[in-house]
């Protein structure tokens, strides 16, 4: 009985810890022991967040059933029958928990892979822009060394350096939140650079 309560408490804590990380835009297909994650909802694919919520409800319901069965066993009512049901329910609980863990793990793997691929794609696309910025900085350094430094040129150089730094940080982004923040800075600086250049 205590073990079932500990499982339920552990489940609630893990639900709370993981729920902040769930995405509404992932869809799951569950087939026996295999979970497939997709960005597109097609036949058989359901929202992963909803799938996890359904599994959690089934886990809680099964855990409550196990507690009732244990109560009857403790009272000595239909012991053999209850032991058989308990074994079946315990197997179901284990299967549900494994399914939930698998869905969460596959979602995390999918999100991590998607983040890495997004960063790689973005870096490939903006590398020519970064090279252009670096060439401009070299030209500005030559002008500055020749005595042609002005406050507006220094301001422009600061924007270019900031943009190169943001691009370098994008290539090292490890979370979606970090990537989003850096992309916002990238867009802002790109607009500022274009405005200053005009």
Round to the nearest angstrom and report the end-to-end CA distance of the chain: 73
pLDDT tens profile 68-118: 999 989 988 888 998 999 999 999 999 999 999 999 999 999 989 989 998
Is the pLDDT score of 4 beyond 80?
A: no
DSSP state of 22: -
- The ranges assigned to domains in the chain are 2-113, 116-197
Tens digit of pLDDT for each residue in 48-64?
Answer: 999 999 999 999 999 99
For the segment 118-164, what is each residue's pLDDT rounded down to a tens digit?
899 999 999 999 999 999 999 999 999 898 888 888 999 999 999 99
**pTM exceeds 0.75, yes or no:** no
CB 166 within 8 A of CB 139: no
Residues with Cβ within 8 Å of 23's Cβ and at least 6 positions away in sequence, in order, are 48, 49, 107, 111
Average pLDDT value for residue range 8-36: 61
Residue 72 tokens read as 């009857």
Segment among 1-15, 55-69, 131-145, 165-179 with least mean pLDDT: 1-15
Q: For residue 15, is pLDDT > 50?
A: no
């Amino acid at each position: 009985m205590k073990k079932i309560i500990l499982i339920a408490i552990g489940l609630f804590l893990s639900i709370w810890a993981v729920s902040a990380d769930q995405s509404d835009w992932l869809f799951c297909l569950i087939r026996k022991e295999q979970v497939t994650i997709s960005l597109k909802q097609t036949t058989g694919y359901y929202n992963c967040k909803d799938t996890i919520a359904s599994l959690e409800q089934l886990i809680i319901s099964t855990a409550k059933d196990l507690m009732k069965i244990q109560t009857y066993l403790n009272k000595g009512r239909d012991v053999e029958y209850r032991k058989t049901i308990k074994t079946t329910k315990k197997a179901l609980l284990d299967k549900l928990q494994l399914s939930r863990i698998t869905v969460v793990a596959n979602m995390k793997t999918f999100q991590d892979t998607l983040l890495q691929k997004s960063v790689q794609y973005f870096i490939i696309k903006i590398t020519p822009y970064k090279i252009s910025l670096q060439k401009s900085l070299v030209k500005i350094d030559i002008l500055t060394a020749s005595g042609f430094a002005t406050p507006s040129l220094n301001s422009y150089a600061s924007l270019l350096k900031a943009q190169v730094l943001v691009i370098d940080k994008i290539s090292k982004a490890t979370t979606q939140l970090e990537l989003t923040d850096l992309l916002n800075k990238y867009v802002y600086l790109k607009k500022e650079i274009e405005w200053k250049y005009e």
